Amino acid sequence: MKSVGKATKDAPLARGVARLKEIPSGIWALGFVSLLMDVSSEMIHALLPVYLVTAMGASMATVGLIEGIAEATASIIKIFSGAISDLLGKRKLLAVIGYGLAAVTKPVFPLAGSIGWLVAARFVDRIGKGIRGAPRDALVADIAPAHLRGASFGLRQSLDTVGAFLGPALAIALMALTGGSFLAVFWVAVIPAFLSVGLLLLAVHEPERPAGQRKIRFPLSFHELRKLGPSYWLVVTVATLFALARFSEAFLILRAKMVGLPLVLIPMVLVAMNVVYALAAYPAGVLSDRTNRINVLLIGFALLIAADVWLAFSDGLLGVSIGILLWGLHMGLTQGLLATLVADTAPSELRGTAFGVFNLLGGLALLAASVLAGTLWDAAGAQATFLAGAGFTALALLGLGVVRWRAPGLGASHHG
């Protein structure tokens, strides 16, 4: 009886491992492309604000302006790059251009002799991010079999997020080893960036455009946007509302600092959150392929409410740490799945446009959420910020209920 019980217990793990073996090599390659570029970017971005202020003499207002312009630029470009990939019927070319632009900016950071050069490098780097985002996600959807779509998006998200915590961790280690040399860290960051582009060129093979697939002439026209369909627009509406609840992780850092986390350990907030995020994203995708994506999303939304409430009312470091880990868990159960639902609902010939619109609206909502969170924090304190986040998440939960009612088959298992 014990062996039967053990076999039953190990079945989900065995299924997850089996799914990993079935996922096409192109998905794995795209995941490692994302991982390597994230390692490079996060090594620099983790230190850049401090470098700008201490080594270049920039003001905090300048830092904020640079980051705001950079992220807004990336969000706006995503919609056009996705549409162009539909117009051309090619995804990989735009992904290579986007990753290539990001790679060639990396040597500028250690070579820059003025703030102007750093601003230009950051700006071009974000242009690269904007160009690659939607075509890359559309390429994942094109390569992944329908019954492995959740697992494929989950795997790419997991590997991407591994880069998000390895980058800052490597930056911390290298700063310690080099006696605090920013330039040494910036030069090391050049290596994974160019490896990322090389891997994309050599290991990712774009599938042929299906015979008879409709050609798109004006992807962003009202006529084509209507063809995305009501189910797609329901998903995007809920995702945008959810993004209003998911403000910048900078507020997690501020919350940890409030309860006494030492400054030298501050980077560990994002490292811990991203470790949980990376561990959860792939299993969440596998689960969504076997059950229903909407059900998994409901759990993810509920976890964000729990994280917000915990962060609003916890006094000590342990309580805030639990809230941060719950935040990472909700990210793992939602971000890859929302992208998967976009792939499920959008016509294949319009996937680039679909991901572009999805990323643009989500990015703008996240920007608005961060401004609102900061305003609430200044006016009424941390508790008000996190409770507002819980409130927006509750609205997004209601939105999922509307999706379930209006599109009852959406998110159903494609598992064969």
Burial class (CB in 10 A: 0-12, 13-18, 19+), 260: exposed
Residues 40 and 110 in one domain: yes
Tens of pLDDT, residue by residue over 354-395, are: 999 998 898 888 878 878 888 888 888 889 989 999 999 999
Range of the domain at 70: 20-203
Kindly state the percentage of the chain with pLDDT values over 90. Answer: 50
CA distances from residue 21 to 16, 26, 104, 136, 161 in whole angstroms, order as listed? 9, 12, 34, 21, 20
pTM for this prediction: 0.84
Tokens of 349: 């010939």
* Torsion angle, alpha carbons of 30, 31, 36, 42, to 10: 120
Does a structural domain hold residue 380? Answer: yes
Say if residue 180 is in the same domain as residue 239. no
Domain count of the fold of the chain? 2
Q: How many contiguous H segments (helices) and E segments (strands) does the chain have?
A: 17, 0
Q: What is the pLDDT of residues 258-301, one digit of tens each?
A: 888 776 677 788 888 899 999 999 999 999 999 889 999 999 99
Band of residue 60 on the pLDDT scale cut at 50, 70, 90: low
**Cα distance between residue 10 and residue 5, in whole Å:** 9
- For residue 300, is it within any domain? yes
Residue 368 belongs to a domain with what CATH number? 1.20.1250.20
Domain termination residue (choose one: 203, 227, 259): 203
Quick count: other Cβ atoms within 10 Å of Cβ 205? 12
Identify the bridge partners of residue 292 per DSSP, sorted by sequence position.
412
Q: Which of 153, 169, 203 is the last residue of a domain?
A: 203
- The CB density around residue 10, as the number of other CB atoms within 10 Å, is 11
pLDDT of residue 388: 92
Q: Does residue 14 lie within any of the structural domains? A: no
Which residues on adjacent β-strands are paired with residue 238?
Answer: none
pLDDT in tens, 328-363: 999 999 999 999 999 999 998 999 999 999 988 988
Local structure of residue 210 (DSSP, 8 states) = P
Q: Mind listing the pLDDT tens digit for each residue in 99-134?
A: 999 999 999 999 987 878 888 888 888 899 999 999
C-alpha angle 83-340-400 in degrees, rounded to nearest 5: 110
Same-domain status, 224 and 113: no
